[in-house]
Every structure is written in structure tokens, then in C-alpha cells.
A = this chain, B = another copy of it.
């Protein structure tokens, strides 16, 4: 049992919060304005019911401000939009983040010019690195950002092997993140540790082909698998 805060109330945040609760953890969802999030009654851009409906059907999950959610947790899962991530963490307060693990699932997608999105930051920098730099005592681990929310928390939805990448500077934090991935159903042979947090550039840069694959395949139910030659 770990104490998790899930930042973000969209599909990714809901999926992570539900699965973390279901696997026996304490879960608080963090949002900017609890009142506004609770009162929202319209469906989201994708036709999903409002967050309050989701929350009512998940009685073990609580809703709090980013700050309160951070205070009450040991591990924070960043499921906010990439554009909003640094600001959400500032709202949480650096003193409430220091020494804790941040699992960063967000992507720096820029939809300002429509679909397909480009990236706000890439190539020589990444959102994960920007977060790590802004909060040096936060133990940032980038993972799960290369697939749809359903696949993140239920890898068995796809038959056969497929891959989840892990990037981060803190070895002990990566051990704890691996346990979370295992609890979701990720086998160790499908978890690839790429190295330090700069390797998140590579995984964030998978998004442009991901969105094109979504268009070509007409389904988000796919994932990258790294097929590695077997040693003879």
C-alpha cells in the first residue's frame, strides 16, 4: 500500500487513479480548483461524462487541491496536460514535493495548430527534464507516456509482448515504479530502462508517430514493442 496523488482529472488521470485504488493503494486526485472540478456537469471534448460522475463511482478515491494531494502522498503521478504540468507542480508547492517520487506520464503536445499535434519541447530537451530541473529534489521517473490510458493500466488488453519505457536519475525511485508497473500487469521482460532522465527525450518523441499510427490504424489500442534478437 502506497500513498499516491494523481494530478489531472482527464482520461489518463482517471485510469491511473482507478487502477491504483483497485490494486490496494490510497489515492487522492489533485486538481487546481476542487469546487470547479466538482461542479463541472458537461461531458468532456471526447464525450466522456464529467469528473464528478467518475468520482461518484470510485468512492475510495478522494479529490483535493494539488497542494493537499501532494501533502498527503509519497508518490505523485503527473497526468496533467504537458502545457500545464509545471504550473500544476508549482501549485503543489516545492516543499510538498521534495524527496518524493514523481511519475511523469504527460507529453508536451501542442494542439494550437490542430491535429496532428507537434511537441512544445523536444530533441535537445524534454518535459521530464524541465520538471526535473525546476524541482531538483523531486525524483522524476518518466514512464507510460507512449501508449493509450487503457493499455497503461491493463497491458493484457494487447495479446503478446509490448514495451513500457522507464527513464530517470534515481535508481531507488525506478525500483518503486517498476513495482507499480508489475502491479498493473507489466512483466519485467517488457519493461525497458533506457537510462537517466535525458532519455525521456526519446520517449516523448515517440508521440508524433503515435498520433499518426492512431490515424492510420483508426484505433488507440496498440503499443510499441521492441523486438530484440534472441542471443544464439
Contacts and interface: CB of A to CB of B under 8 A. Distances in A.
Interface of A: 118-119, 122-124, 157-162, 165, 192-195, 199, 201-203, 205-206, 208-213, 215-217, 219, 221-230
B224 A229 contact: no
A177 to B, nearest CB: 16
B225 A227 contact: yes
A218 to B, nearest CB: 10
Contacts of A202: 208-213
Contacts of A219: 228-229
Contacts of A229: 157-159, 219, 221-222
15 contacts: A122-B123, A157-B229, A159-B227, A160-B227, A162-B227, A192-B213, A193-B216, A194-B215, A195-B215, A202-B210, A202-B211, A219-B229, A223-B226, A224-B227, A225-B227
A122 to B, nearest CB: 5
B216 A209 contact: no
Contacts of A208: 123, 201-202, 205
Contacts of A206: 205-206, 209
A65 B126 CA distance: 41
B230 A216 contact: no
A160 B157 CA distance: 19
Nearest to A147: B227
Contacts of A203: 209
Contacts of A124: 118
A119 B90 CA distance: 31
Contacts of A162: 225, 227
A157 B222 CA distance: 24
Contacts of A159: 227, 229-230
Contact of A223 (B213, B222, B223, B227): B227
